[in-house]
Structures are given as structure tokens and as C-alpha cells.
Amino acid sequence: MNKNRLEYYKGNIYLCGFMASGKSTLAKTLATRMEREDCDLDEVIVEKEGKSIREIFDENGEVYFREKEREYLLELTREFKGIVSLGGGALHNQHIVDHLKVSGLLVFVDTSLEVISERVFNNSERPILFDKEGKIKTKETLFTELKTLYLEREDLYKQAQIHIKTQLYNSVNEMADGLIAKISRHV
């Protein structure tokens, strides 16, 4: 690894991937290792809107959430320097993918749907867990819906310059090391 080149790399590193894939935890560890700032797009939205993600979905609707998600992400690409963890739906279209790849490196955090579905089912405030009446969906319904959504988004995630399969690592520290090795081959 060429340590100097990595130290001099000033572009942002964007972590994308499906919900509950471990992007935020990895972003924090990576930021510590690389001695850079980290930022979570969902947290920015919550802070700026003064509501939880679920409240925004319930009170303002998904279209509003996506509009804000896009606005704050574009703002981050201009004003923030460091590691950015994106929400699972933040790659809205080809234009955003192209923009992120020019503004920095896009990393796809690839976690299996089985693991994701368990995480969302067992410990989640994520809107997809709830039906129209606010009741928790069955495991089977949740898995089917997650799979459909994943297949719709997969093509955009896969355009990332770097892919990291989380199941190949035993800990987030190992994963961060693996990712740093991959990043250093790109800068």
C-alpha cells in the first residue's frame, strides 16, 4: 500500500449499500483509521428536519424524504470532506452515482439479504418494517419486499468503484483494514 498517496487523498469516500448493511459502523471505524471526519447522511436529515426518519416518512411522505435526502447529499458533496455514510436509498439515479464518483470514491458495502432482513426485523425503526396501519410486517413479507427493493437498486450500487463483501470479515476493524487496502489501490 502506498501510505503517502492515501494520506494525500483529499476526495470524499462515500459508503453506499442496502439498509442495515453496516455502512455507518464501518464509516466511523474507517474515519478513525484514516484520521478523517465522518458523517452520516441519515443523521444530517434528522438533525436538519428536527424529526426521526420514521416521522418524516409518516408525516411528510417518502417523496419529501427523497427530495431532502438529495438536497442534503449534494450539499455534503460541496461542503464536507471525509467519509460519508449514505442511506440505502440515497443513490436515486445515474446522475447522483456519476456525481459521487467524480466527487470522491464510491464504495458498495455488500451484505447478504438474509442478514439484512434479520437485522431490520429484529431491531429497526426503518419505515419498511411497518405496514400502512403501522403494524410490523411478517418476516416473509418483509423479506420479499426487501428483495424487490434490492433488485431495483442493485444496478446503481454495483457501479461503485470499490466493493466490500462484509461476510468475508470477522470484525469491523478487519473490514476497515480490508477497505483501506482497496482504497489505496485507487488513489
Nearest CB to ligand S3P, comparing residues 117 and 126: 126
What is the per-residue DSSP string for 71-92? HHHHHHHHH--SEEEPPTT---
Residues composing the chain: 187
Nearest CB to ligand S3P, comparing residues 86 and 105: 86
In what side-by-side order are the strands of the sheet with 38-40? Answer: 38-40, 83-85, 12-16, 104-110, 162-165
CB of 53 to ligand S3P, least distance (A): 5
Write out the residues near ligand S3P by the rule CB under 6 A: 19-20, 42, 53, 87-89, 126-127
CB of 42 to ligand S3P, least distance (A): 5
CB of 59 to ligand S3P, least distance (A): 14
CB of 116 to ligand S3P, least distance (A): 9
Nearest CB to ligand S3P, comparing residues 52 and 138: 52
Nearest CB to ligand S3P, comparing residues 9 and 90: 90
Of the candidates 171, 185, 186, 146, the residue with the CA atom closest to the CA atom of residue 18: 146
- Taking the C-alpha atoms of residue 183 and residue 187, their distance in angstroms, rounded to an integer, is 7
